[in-house]
Structure 1
Amino acid sequence: MSGTETVDYEVEYNNRARVPEHPQLMAGWARDAAAYRAEHAPRRLTYGPGPRNVIDLFEADGDGDGAIVMFIHGGYWQALDGSSSSHCARGLNRHGITVAVPTYDLCPQVTIGTIIQEMRSAARELARLGRPLVISGHSAGGHLAACMLATDWHALDPALPQDLVRAAYAISGLFELEPLVATSVNKALGMDNASAHVASPLFWMPPAGKSLDAVVGGSESAEYLRQSRTIAERWGAAGVATRYGEIADANHFTAIAPLADPDSAMVARLKELAGR
């Protein structure tokens, strides 16, 4: 939005208020995730010393040497853990693609900057498997997926390949964090405008030559649509292969549902990004 228009950021970014049925939808996540873990038990990896520095690795039968898909959960960097997203591995697992679901520490115990570093550590741990990564994520996880794509891995560790992360698929992501500073979301995040800018991948060096899909529920707020459109446009103009898409009739909590469906267009696109 521009000119003299005033944006009510509290309304735009309060997803729980926008979707009154969110408790039932999130209870559905927990139920479906538990059922999938019971059906397809993951292998537990650790990437750091803390109890939340863990990765659930949902290995697929017949997986070859293509990319592993890492899916990062949402929760505005202050809620949930990887176990709430176990069912998001179902669709890709059915196509023989291994899915890694990390957990991270939460604000206000840590900062968003620390969470970014933790997800880099998780990716480095997965690099030990000798496979490239495609990073997906929902909401805050979409932000973290873009951060992983824009990380200079070789500079971080010369032993890592520069193309460790070949693509990102962000669902309902947040890429410009300054609009959150004056909202209730920021009570736990503790950002000022400067730290929000530093943590915003929209303003990082675009990862030219790599691929970013920024998709968002068609029923989400104007700000969520703007966030995904803007990063697709700006990074696309800088040499990133970007796609912007809207998931028809989906709100912030139903936008990830296609990940559990092996026949969905979302799973087909991730399969393509993984080189299968």
Structure 2
Amino acid sequence: MTGEIDLEAEYNNRARVPDHPAVMAGWRETAEAARAACPPVGIAYGKGEREVMDLFDAGPDAPVAVFLHGGYWQALDKDWFSGLAPAFLAHGVSLAIPSYDLAPAVRLGPILRQVRAAVDTVRARSGVRPLVFGHSAGGHMAACMLSEGRASAAVAISGVFDLRPLIPTSLNIALDLDEREAAALSPLFWPVPNGSTPGGTVLDCIVGGEESPEFLRQSRMMADHWAASGVETRYQALPGLNHFTVLDPLFDADSALVKRIADLARSGA
């Protein structure tokens, strides 16, 4: 599967992109500005301290998109990503951003259960399955939500769909995955949504063109695998963008990526 590939170098994105702190500082700055300009509604989807989400509301009957943040299931929270909201509000799309518990305090299975609860809470409020999109670990979980019929469509940005290559890397210190658990939690091996499955059957796999060959392979592999089983998939490598700057288009209401996600959210509403 991996041959002589240096999996640590391929999957450790913070090491691969030395200037990532500056990019992430920009996320924080735009998030604070967005929260000041349009304070979100806080919604609890469970009893835990981190089982909360922010809802940036575009108005009654607006379609809803759910953004699932990255951090390899062991870093960050909703407050880093409020800056995505203005671009979607400009298109009349509400944006929900949940936090969730992190490894090593919890394992990946319980994190997925929390994300299910968050997405189901959004659906209960709106009456329809939301569009779910996410970055990195969030891309993985967006695909999981589509497989389970919880999403009207999914956009996975720089996702990891086969978790087994993470096992020998430093990223697995907190995750503590073995081969069995990694395979069981990989959406590449989950049921493929189809016309008889409740929910959506559209999956976009987006990745930065400057990301590692493994991240490019993962997104292409996932799109090809589900397409072969009848899912409408789309693979795109965005030129010049790395694992962190791949989020840049989401801050621009006029970007093709924001327009695509907004269109998918409206089509599922």
Do the two structures share a fold, i.e. TM-score over 0.5?
yes
Counterpart-to-counterpart distance in 2, 1:93 and 1:206: 31
Query: Residue 225 in 1 paired to residue 216 in 2?
Result: yes
Amino acid at match of 2:130: L
How many residues were matched structurally?
261
Identity among equivalent positions (%) equals 49
| Cα deviation, residue 128, structure 1 | 1.6
Query: Residue 136 in 1 paired to residue 133 in 2?
Result: yes
| Cα deviation, residue 88, structure 1 | 1.4
| Cα deviation, residue 166, structure 1 | 1.1
Q: Which of residues 88, 93, 96 is equivalent to 1:97?
A: 93
Counterpart-to-counterpart distance in 1, 2:86 and 2:217: 30
Q: What is the match of residue 21 of structure 1?
A: 19
Counterpart-to-counterpart distance in 1, 2:14 and 2:206: 19
| Cα deviation, residue 108, structure 1 | 0.4
Counterpart-to-counterpart distance in 2, 1:199 and 1:119: 14
SS in 1 for 2:81: helix
* Cα shift readout 1:98-117 (whole Å, capped 9, x = no counterpart): 01000000000111111111
SS in 2 for 1:48: coil
SS in 1 for 2:152: strand
1:126-205 superposed matches below 5 A: 126-129=122-125, 130-152=127-149, 164-205=150-191
SS in 2 for 1:125: helix
Q: Which of residues 109, 117, 131 is equivalent to 2:113?
A: 117
Amino acid at match of 2:24: M
Counterpart-to-counterpart distance in 2, 1:225 and 1:207: 23
Give runs of ≥4 in structure 1 deviating > 2 Å: none
Q: What is the match of residue 198 of structure 2?
A: none
Amino acid at match of 2:219: S
Tell me, which stretches of 5 or more residues in structure 1 are unaligned?
153-163
1:48-59 superposed matches below 5 A: 48-59=46-57
Query: Residue 69 in 1 paired to residue 65 in 2?
Result: yes
**Is the CA contact (8 Å cut-off) linking 1:70 and 1:133 kept in structure 2?**
yes
SS in 2 for 1:255: helix
SS in 2 for 1:64: coil
| Cα deviation, residue 275, structure 1 | 2.4
| Cα deviation, residue 207, structure 1 | 1.0
Counterpart-to-counterpart distance in 2, 1:239 and 1:232: 11
SS in 2 for 1:128: helix
**Is the CA contact (8 Å cut-off) linking 1:88 and 1:256 kept in structure 2?**
no
| Cα deviation, residue 131, structure 1 | 2.8
| Cα deviation, residue 123, structure 1 | 1.1
Q: What is the match of residue 157 of structure 1?
A: none
SS in 2 for 1:208: coil
Counterpart-to-counterpart distance in 1, 2:104 and 2:242: 26
Q: What is the match of residue 155 of structure 1?
A: none
Counterpart-to-counterpart distance in 2, 1:274 and 1:29: 23
* Cα shift readout 1:177-214 (whole Å, capped 9, x = no counterpart): 00000000000001001100001000001112410000
Amino acid at match of 1:171: I
1:246-265 superposed matches below 5 A: 246-265=237-256
Tell me, which stretches of 5 or more residues in structure 2 are unaligned?
196-200
Counterpart-to-counterpart distance in 2, 1:24 and 1:273: 31
Q: What is the match of residue 259 of structure 2?
A: 268
Counterpart-to-counterpart distance in 1, 2:104 and 2:166: 15
SS in 1 for 2:192: coil
SS in 1 for 2:266: coil
Task: Give the aligned CA root-mean-square deviation in angstroms.
Answer: 1.3
| Cα deviation, residue 64, structure 1 | 3.1
Amino acid at match of 1:135: V
* Cα shift readout 1:67-93 (whole Å, capped 9, x = no counterpart): 310000000000000110111122111
Counterpart-to-counterpart distance in 2, 1:177 and 1:266: 26
